A and B are shown apart, each in its own frame.
Chain A
């Protein structure tokens, strides 16, 4: 019984939240990695692309709700998602045409493109605020819980609560579907293969007749889709606020680099490594320890690191990886 209590506490406070957070980071990191491997620069505007996409999804969700359309127990935002992706994709293609295309044509250094993306980030950031405002928005509707703390306690009579939110389950399922679809696209379709060829060796790809403009366009559309999905899942699970997407860029980059930037598998693994170490290392093990070793009553909280150092965790991992294995866990590419 004590063992089960310990397990439940661990699942409730570490495993479930970290898995959902990890899935969101992984989707974000996939977008960053895609841009990095094909367009060859670190896209700092990715966080705000997520915010923009989510803002569009929220606006469409409100429209759908006003028309009385709902998705039963699932959030209405899932219906709005494809439309949101379409708008964001148009936005990305527009940005590419107005901004990035010029720098590609003059063959600018990657670092110049990074700075350009920082500029785009600020513009997108402001645009999102104009579009939807600065307030915190909760747009998750439908059933909130699959298992809620109160029903769990009534059902099992256990001391420890357990919750599984609908949004957490949706996050993991959607992320899984997205990742499978992306890998199928990259490995099985002609366009996907040409993208990989372009990523491996640009000159060789051009010689073999791959249309670079098309590759670039498809990349932006895919990135827009990944960003909008990641942003919407994150917003559904937490809540939407333009400010937080600006901040999430850091853990996303950490995930991409730890996994091996430019490598899609690495991005996913990196996302989960970052999320589990953030939550796990700063978790206070007092309760779990109390259940496992009843005789031992710890005075402190049995916490490796105070939660203040959560951000530091990603950075330490990032630095260790950069020192000892700069290409990341799954050999990414380094420009």
Chain B
């Protein structure tokens, strides 16, 4: 009896191996924790790309792609590592779209990605430390390093004739990294930073932080934080006590929630986020709207691109083995070849199958530089009549 069972199982296994496979892909994001409101649209973006590829039936032998979600929590590296470990060892994912925050991403890369040889593409980890980290060629990101954002932010502030600012940052890899790169860029260009103080996330009360910032003074407050977390708390406090009237918001703050909760009070405040204009983004926004989620939420387009890149690289390499297809990612992302935009993944797969080269442009005009990170264009935003308006790109 036992033998019959085993033979049946063996035959079943053999049969499935020959035909279309089910490829599992990890979607590792901070579904709980300080960025939980951004995680939803990101996951939906990534899953939309996977569904698109799956439905096309063009991937390798007509393989289907199944997303498996994992919770990286953003702040708890141990939890992120455990979630990634589960994805890789028990679900057997062929690649991980994630993780979300820089700290969690570093931990997952060191403890799970590299040792197990699984490709990771993060749409949102922006710590400069990740640029120079040993990654064995398994790590990429469709987000630019904060070193670049610091320069852009400094320039944007100086262009508005503001020469003295106070800085507060969320106390983690992302906050510290961006605050430092901003401060050095700003001071180099002749500006003054009156104070650079950290704030802890997850607390309701930020009176002490606001008091210290107000005492140091400055013409504007650069608020490097998370909109679901301390960022909003500090902002609320600063507005209510009249400590500052002009604010500068980097990516973690720019979201619908900021507009909904503060809107009219932020007249004249401005910010920037890694984002791109053009055909790709417009198409993506339309697709997202059709699918019933907000594609303009930060990094949602990048998540779509991250997932798409991995699947296209698989097709280009003719293998789902991360150790093989990792070498194709840069090629697929940078071309040369026909440009592929969101919604055209089937076309991309077809071209690759025919042995032609493609240049995946995606929602965020993907162009990977250096060790595999986005070159970075930034969307500048301004609060006008209580709404976030886009003033330009740089």
Give the B-binding residues of A (Cβ under 8 A). Answer: 9, 12-14, 17-18, 21, 134-136, 138, 145, 148-150, 152-153, 161-163, 165, 234, 238-239, 241, 243-248, 278-279, 282-288, 301, 303, 306-308, 310-311
Smallest CB separation, B38 vs chain A (Å): 11
Interfacial chain A residues near B181, Cβ < 8 Å? none
Shortest Cβ distance from A243 into B: residue: B202
Q: Please, how many residues of chain B have a CB less than 8 angstroms from a CB on the other chain?
A: 38
Flag B193-220 by CB within 8 Å of A: 1 or 0 each: 0010111101111011111101111000
Smallest CB separation, B174 vs chain A (Å): 16
Bound form: Cα–Cα A149–B214 in Å: 13
Interfacial chain A residues near B217, Cβ < 8 Å? 287
Known: A136-B261, A285-B215, A301-B215. A278 touches B208 (CB 8 A): yes
Smallest CB separation, B144 vs chain A (Å): 27
Bound form: Cα–Cα A239–B204 in Å: 7
- Report yes or no: A301 in contact with B257, Cβ–Cβ below 8 A: no
Q: Is the interface of A mostly helix, strand, loop or mixed?
A: helix
Known: A13-B207, A306-B197, A310-B200. A241 touches B241 (CB 8 A): no
Shortest Cβ distance from B36 into A: residue: A134
Interfacial chain A residues near B7, Cβ < 8 Å? none
Interfacial chain B residues near A12, Cβ < 8 Å? 241-242
Decide if B146 is an interface residue (CB 8 Å cutoff).
Answer: no
Known: A12-B241, A134-B37. A307 touches B216 (CB 8 A): no
Bound form: Cα–Cα A283–B242 in Å: 16
- Report yes or no: A136 in contact with B212, Cβ–Cβ below 8 A: no
Smallest CB separation, B394 vs chain A (Å): 30
Shortest Cβ distance from A282 into B: residue: B208
Can you identify 17 A-B contacts, CB atoms within 8 angstroms? A17-B205, A134-B32, A134-B36, A136-B261, A138-B261, A161-B242, A163-B240, A239-B236, A244-B204, A248-B203, A282-B212, A283-B208, A283-B215, A301-B212, A301-B215, A307-B208, A308-B171
Smallest CB separation, B191 vs chain A (Å): 18
Bound form: Cα–Cα A138–B257 in Å: 11
Known: A165-B240, A301-B195, A310-B200. A135 touches B215 (CB 8 A): no
Flag B225-252 by CB within 8 Å of A: 1 or 0 each: 0011100110011001111000000000
Identify B211's interface contact among A165, A283, A308, CB under 8 A: A283
Q: Which 6 A-B pairs have the closest CB atoms?
A: A149-B242, A161-B242, A17-B207, A13-B211, A284-B215, A244-B204
Give the A-binding residues of B (Cβ under 8 A). Answer: 32-34, 36-37, 171, 195, 197-200, 202-205, 207-212, 214-217, 227-229, 232-233, 236-237, 240-243, 257, 261
Kindly name the residue among B198, B211, B228 whose own CB sees the greatest number of chain A CB atoms within 10 A: B211
Shortest Cβ distance from B197 into A: residue: A307
- Report yes or no: A136 in contact with B208, Cβ–Cβ below 8 A: no
Interfacial chain B residues near A234, Cβ < 8 Å? 204
Smallest CB separation, B230 vs chain A (Å): 10
Identify B228's interface contact among A136, A247, A287, CB under 8 A: A136
Bound form: Cα–Cα A1–B72 in Å: 54
Identify A307's interface contact among B212, B228, B233, B242, CB under 8 A: B212
- Report yes or no: B257 in contact with A284, Cβ–Cβ below 8 A: no
Bound form: Cα–Cα A30–B257 in Å: 34
Shortest Cβ distance from B239 into A: residue: A149
